[in-house]
Amino acid sequence: MPELPEVETLRRQLCQAVLGFRVVQSTVFDPKLEGISFRPGSRLRNIERHGKWLTMQFEDGSAYRIHLRMTGRLFLCRQISPPAHSRLMIELARGRQTVRLFLIDPRRFATVQMIGPGQIPPGTDAFPEICPENLHEAAVRRNVSVKSFLLDQKTIAGIGNIYACEILHAAKIDPLRKARQLSRREWRRVAECAPAILETAIDCRGTSVSDWRDLHGEKGEFQHRLKVYRREGAVCGRCGGRIGRIRQEGRSTFYCPGCQKSIK
């Protein structure tokens, strides 16, 4: 479940910890990642994020794009022995300091690819701001629910199931509404609520509802601030109604039928 706030947390922590470090060696444990190798001696120049994608750029021009999908994690430590479900290890050093970056991923959906310069995935990043006019314009041609629309990375990149539910609740929008039916005013509410929620979640180092951990193995804190996600049956803090749960396109949606209605 790493979504934008979780990936941004990793980006910031990696910048803090290993920018300027050089690759000592790398080891692939999972045959699915066969062929991925990091050139020894290359220096980590920059780490960027676009949506849920993380890109590590080295001074020799090489760049690697990582997507954690469902259960992927990055774990930075000194230990040599790979933790359970390790798929890749990069040993990095600066001076006498040596650290190891593990890609851990029980379900093995995460992807790592070498990319050339300027290859940016589609979609406008949802952080730090969203243009409401762009949302409205992109939505008018879409016959999908607003929930599905927010999850579609080709329009707005970075929002997953947890934050889509939270954003729609904050913006008081019924997740069942069609994206094309939202007014400009409603899109403005989405464009205001989304970056605020994402920023708070980043400050909390993400949402640890199940197995999310940050770069150093610590839980995030945003799970304590969720208003609807996984709160089925609880009382809505805004209207006193009951949080409900429905299925949309095969995925759970949590929302408050009391205050997420079609009324503008």
Residue 106 interacts with DNA (CB under 7 A): yes or no = yes
Q: Of residues 15, 24, 28, 70, which one binds DNA by CB under 7 A? A: 70
- Structure tokens, 45: 């120049």
If one asks whether residue 81 binds DNA (CB under 7 A), the answer comes out as no
Q: CB neighbours of 99 closer than 8 A, spacing ≥ 6?
A: 17, 18, 21, 76, 77, 78, 91, 92, 93
Q: Enumerate the β-bridge partners of residue 254.
A: 245
Active-site choice (22, 49, 52, 65): 52
- Measured CA to CA, the distance from residue 109 to residue 92 in angstroms comes to 24
Q: Is 238 a catalytic residue?
A: no
Active site residue 251: yes
CB 159 within 8 Å of CB 151: yes
Structure tokens at 212: 């999310």
Closest separation in Å from C-beta 105 to DNA: 9
- Asked whether 238 and 232 are in contact (CB, 8 A), the reply is no
Shortest Cβ 41–DNA spacing (Å): 31
Please, what is the minimum distance in Å from the beta carbon of residue 161 to DNA? 3
Quote the CA–CA distance of 228 and 254 in Å, as a whole number: 6
**22 within 8 A of 43, measured Cβ to Cβ:** yes
Active site residue 221: no
Candidates 10-18, 93-101, 208-216, 256-264: pick the segment binding DNA (CB under 7 A): 208-216
Could you tell me the smallest distance in angstroms from the CB atom of residue 42 to DNA? 26
Using alpha carbons, select from 82, 104, 98 the residue that is nearest to residue 33: 104
User: Residue for token digits 């590590």?
Assistant: 56
Which range, of 38-46, 107-115, 167-175, 197-205, touches DNA by CB under 7 A?
107-115
**Which of 2, 186, 205, 227 is an active site residue?**
2
# of chain residues touching DNA (CB under 7 A): 32
Whether 43 is catalytic is no
Applying CB under 7 A, the span of 186-194, 196-204, 233-241, 246-254 interacting with DNA comes to 246-254
Provide the minimum distance between the beta carbon of 106 and DNA in the complex, in angstroms, as a whole number: 4
User: What x-and-dash track marks residues 121-160 binding DNA by CB under 7 A?
Assistant: --------------------xxxx---x--x-x------x
Based on the shown chain and the rule CB under 7 A, indicate whether residue 161 belongs to the binding site for DNA: yes
For residue 166, what is the enclosing H or E element? helix 161-170
CA distance 181 to 198: 25
The C-alpha atoms of residue 3 and residue 205 are separated, in whole angstroms, by: 11
Binding site for DNA (CB under 7 A): 1-3, 51-52, 67, 69-71, 85, 106-109, 141-144, 148, 151, 153, 160-162, 209-212, 249-252
Query: Residues with catalytic annotation?
Result: 2-3, 52, 251
